[in-house]
Amino acid sequence: MAHTLQILEIQNLTHDVKQFTLVKPDGYEFKPGQATEVAIDKDGWRDKKRPFTFTSLNEDEHLEFTIKIYPEHDGVTEQIGRLKKGDSLIVDEAWGTIQYKGEGVFLAGGAGVTPFIAIFRDLHKKGEIGNNKLIFSNKTEKDIILRNEFEDIMGDNFIKVITDEKPESDHIFLDGFIDKEFLESVINDFDQPFYVCGPEAFNKSMMKYLKELGANPDALVFEE
């Protein structure tokens, strides 16, 4: 069942990421990490659905999505980027994406962090963040989504990786991605859950390195 929901608020999180707060239908339910199909309630766009992850929690009063805008793609996110408060999105029922299977290491590339946001918020709220670790790869510092919140929630277990600027450490990422050597240097146990989400090339690299290091990762391809 599809719901046409009014946008209550739009907030800029980075130069190209926006947070959308929507009316929540009565009885609408989802789990942290789940996603849904979203379309724009405008002529010519209602049948162009794209998957987005909820970044709010099920118990929150409103629905929230954190969406990266790709103006150069001339598509759905570019149109979403033009929406204003009072416009509407068409939201389907929730479906499963990454499920939390216990304490482990989360590897995110850019906007691929979005499925992890609700998972971390939920664990933090329950006091169960434990020793979960987030390794978050971005091209530049200005691309880091919700940096302050991740620092507050994760503390030293939030590891930022910047691949296109002069690195804070001596580690240089020649292929523009986190590499195997870096993973080995920051992870001491490869027999734990691994969660991978990012662009397809990022996922392929991470899955390959993790398997070579003895891990059994769970991956979600994030659609750009």
CA distance 73 to 198: 17
The token pair at 87 is 């416009």
22 lies in a domain? yes
Residues 118 and 155 in one domain: yes
| Position 166 pLDDT exceeds 90 | no
- Which residue did the predictor score with more confidence, 134 or 1? 134
97 lies in a domain? no
Sheet with 63-68: list strands edge to edge.
50-53, 35-40, 88-91, 3-12, 17-22, 63-68
| Position 173 pLDDT exceeds 70 | no
129 lies in a domain? yes
Burial class (CB in 10 A: 0-12, 13-18, 19+), 9: exposed
Residues 130 and 192 in one domain: yes
Q: How many domains does the chain have?
A: 2
Sign of CA dihedral 46, 82, 30, 106: positive
Residues 116 and 184 in one domain: yes
140 lies in a domain? yes
What pTM was estimated for this model as a whole?
A: 0.89
End-to-end distance of the chain based on CA atoms, in angstroms?
25
Q: Which of 59, 91, 123 is the last residue of a domain?
A: 91
Going by C-beta distance under 8 Å and a sequence separation of 6 or more, which residues neighbour residue 223? Answer: 50, 51
pLDDT in tens, 97-108: 788 889 999 999
Buried b / exposed e along 73-92 (16+ C-beta atoms within 10 A): eeebbebbbebeeeebbbbe
Q: Which of 40, 67, 91 is the last residue of a domain?
A: 91
Pair 182, 69: CB distance under 8 Å:
no
Q: Can you give the pLDDT at residue 168?
A: 55
Residues 157 and 209 in one domain: yes
Q: Can you give the pLDDT at residue 164?
A: 74
Residues 85 and 132 in one domain: no
Q: Which of 32, 61, 91 is the last residue of a domain?
A: 91
Residues in a beta bridge with 37: 51
Residues 137 and 47 in one domain: no
If one counts every other C-beta atom within 10 angstroms of the C-beta of residue 214, the result is: 9
Which of 39, 55, 53, 34 lies closest to 2 in space, CA to CA?
39
Residues 160 and 113 in one domain: yes
**153 by DSSP, 3-state: which?**
helix
200 lies in a domain? yes
If one counts every other C-beta atom within 10 angstroms of the C-beta of residue 180, the result is: 14
* Mean local confidence (pLDDT), 35-46: 96
Tell me, what CATH number does 77's domain have? 2.40.30.10
CA distance 74 to 44: 14
100 lies in a domain? no
Tell me, what CATH number does 210's domain have? 3.40.50.80
Which of 57, 58, 77, 54 lies closest to 66 in space, CA to CA?
54
Q: Can you give the pLDDT at residue 72?
A: 74
In the chain, % of residues over pLDDT 90: 69
- The residue segments making up the domain with residue 10 are 3-91
Q: Can you give the pLDDT at residue 159?
A: 92
**1 by DSSP, 3-state: which?**
coil
17 lies in a domain? yes
Burial class (CB in 10 A: 0-12, 13-18, 19+), 185: exposed
| Position 176 pLDDT exceeds 90 | no
Residues 137 and 171 in one domain: yes
